[in-house]
Amino acid sequence: MSALVPAGVRTLGEMFVRASESHPGQVVGTFFPGRCLTFHELVRDGRLAAARLRSLGVEPATPVAVLLQSPVDFLRITGGIALAGAVMVPLAVSTGFTKAFLSRMRHVLADSGTRFAVIDDPYAEPLAELVPGLRVVPLSRLAGPYAHLLDDGDSDGDGGVMEPPQAGDDDLALIQYTSGSTSAPRGVALTHRNVLAGLRAIQRGVDARAGDVTCHWLPLSHDMGLFSTLAAIGGGIAVHVSAPQDFIKRPDDWLRRFCDLRATVYLGPAFGYGHLLDSVPPEDVPGFDLSAVRVMLNGAEPIAPELITAFQERFAPAGLDPRAMTPCYGLAEATLAVTFTPVGQEARVDWVDRDVLNDAGRAEPADRGALAARGIVSCGVPAPGVEVRIVKDGVEAGERAVGDIEVRGEPVMRGYHGQAPLPAGGWCPTGDLGYLAGSALHVTGRRKEMIILGGRNHYPEDVEARVRRVAGLYRGRAVAVVLPAGHGTGRPERIAVLAEAATARPPHGPLVSDLRAAAAGELGGASVDVVLLGRGGLLRTTSGKFQRLLMRDRLLAGTLDRVLEHVTAEERVRSAA
């Protein structure tokens, strides 16, 4: 039986209430340590939080920021904000109050006009000092064990509240800020109509069923983590979420817990699949049981064909169905869901001529074994209620023409917060390049990350695929970025390869030479800058995307951390002696 948000539900608050009424014993939980709340308890706590927010002066449509580490606490407050008729503004959790974290947070708070923020107790006081004018509300005042003693008469003995504000379909539900992987974070303004349409699209995309168990490690401040979790709750499905650091630091323990939960639906970026491949050796795989898994959504960053094949082969002895791998495409601007590979269909790869793709902007089919062949993973077909088109030179492009991906439909935002709405017609630019083959979307890269050298186009993924095979890298980690021409220096625009070295100990000459040679093989002989970094030096967003443009900017400013060596394109490589 399908598990969908009921058709009569019009707001996020109504969805929480309906889930509690229809599935009171269903659970949301964490991984380490295991902590669960039933849907009944989740909404009970949400009602209490809503009453406290209203007593503190939070009016309907008021933005309320959320900075909470525990996924369960995050969801309790999400429900509370929705039941109060307020607007949620998720904030990304940081390991400390770094300059970058504070800069991003201040930008988000100012851009969204947020004056209230619900924060974990240990961070509430210092954050209030660091951000003057922000009304910081410690979590314990809304949903702690003694919060019911502070209800100010707005709640009843069972955590119920007085008649909540009536939000409309087109009222703002949340402002989801983009990761900022290629630009400053922008506030995606999503209405209740957008959110519920997006959740239903996700549910249909994974063929959500009663009895499913959804598990992932993504932060709930991130669109993929948040909307997939809300989709599970809205469909009455159990959902378990771990902290990202638990997945990163203890991948084998994480996978064992995943198996113990008999998870049927997993979601994450390509980075997560690569991390499991790096962390679970073949001889250990038979000790895991992945036979319950139906769907493994793979999105949020480029997907290499080799990764899919390697993952399917590695975990086949654990009972993993090769059809479980489900490449997809989405973005915050569309409440996540845009395209899905149909459930039960194996992931497909379109092999095209790389030279024609780069120079002519056309995906010309090629034999897989051809020297110039590049495999582009299909991201599937548009979700119900979503349209996708490719625009080239201002007009809609035909079959296999590469251009700008645009989307529209009920889940798609009305515009960025504080900025002009989308143009007439409702088409939303994504910033991604791709093409349609049949009805399936194929993403070729980010427009802002395209490398143009000597009049020819190069995708960073092509350069990276070459250099990541060089021996001496830490887990094959490398990215390619464009460095601008140097004013006053005479240095032309050029490419830099940033790579994590397996060891920080010199000499690094042979590794630099090999990286240069590999890049030159892709770029027609052009020389490149090589920047060697220590382990962990490549920056990622919370979903695992490499932050190429941020790393480029920090390299140019001299603030990139963990740099072991920077050899420019004009410099000779120092001898290994």
Q: Which of 181-190, 235-244, 262-271 is the least confident region?
A: 181-190
pLDDT digits (tens, 9 = 90+) for 415-456: 999 898 898 889 999 999 999 999 999 999 888 777 776 667
Q: What is the CB neighbour count within 10 angstroms for residue 387?
A: 14
Q: Which residues contact 437 (CB under 8 A, 6 or more apart)?
A: 350, 363, 378, 399, 400
- The answer to whether the beta carbons of residues 435 and 358 sit under 8 Å apart is no
Q: How many helices (H) and strands (E) does the chain have?
A: 16, 29
- CA separation for the pair 295, 324 (Å, rounded): 5
Residue range 190-199: average pLDDT? Answer: 96
Q: Write the pLDDT tens digit of every residue in 337-372.
A: 899 999 999 999 999 998 899 889 999 999 998 988
515 has pLDDT over 60:
yes
Selected residue with higher pLDDT from 484 and 439? 439
53 in Cβ contact with 142 (< 8 Å): yes
Sheet holding 187-191, edge to edge: 135-138, 116-119, 63-67, 87-90, 172-177, 187-191, 415-416
| Dihedral, CA of residue 29, residue 35, residue 39 and residue 41, to nearest 10 | -160
Q: What percent of the chain has pLDDT over 90?
A: 59
| 3-state secondary structure at position 167 | coil
Q: Is the pLDDT of residue 156 over 80?
A: no
pLDDT in tens, 40-54: 999 999 999 999 999
What are the angstrom distances between the C-alpha of 260 and each of 211, 254, 288, 294? Answer: 15, 10, 9, 15
Q: Are 437 and 378 in contact (CB under 8 A)?
A: yes
- Sequence-distant (6+) residues with CB within 8 A of 554 are 539, 560, 561
Is residue 406 within 8 Å of 422, Cβ to Cβ? no
List the domains of the chain with CATH numbers: 12-19+33-195 (3.40.50.12780), 347-447 (2.30.38.10), 451-567 (3.30.300.30)
Say whether 542 sits in a helix, a strand or coil: coil
**pLDDT at 391 exceeding the cut of 60:** yes
Q: Which residue has the higher pLDDT, 243 or 452?
A: 243
Cis peptide before 33 (omega within 30 of 0): yes
Spatial distance between the Cα atoms of 535 and 473, rounded to a whole number of angstroms: 9
Q: How far apart are CA 35 and CA 236, in angstroms?
A: 18
306-333 pLDDT, tens per residue?
A: 999 999 999 999 999 999 999 999 999 9
Q: Is 297 helix (H, G, I), strand (E, B) or coil?
A: strand
pLDDT (0 to 100) of residue 95: 64
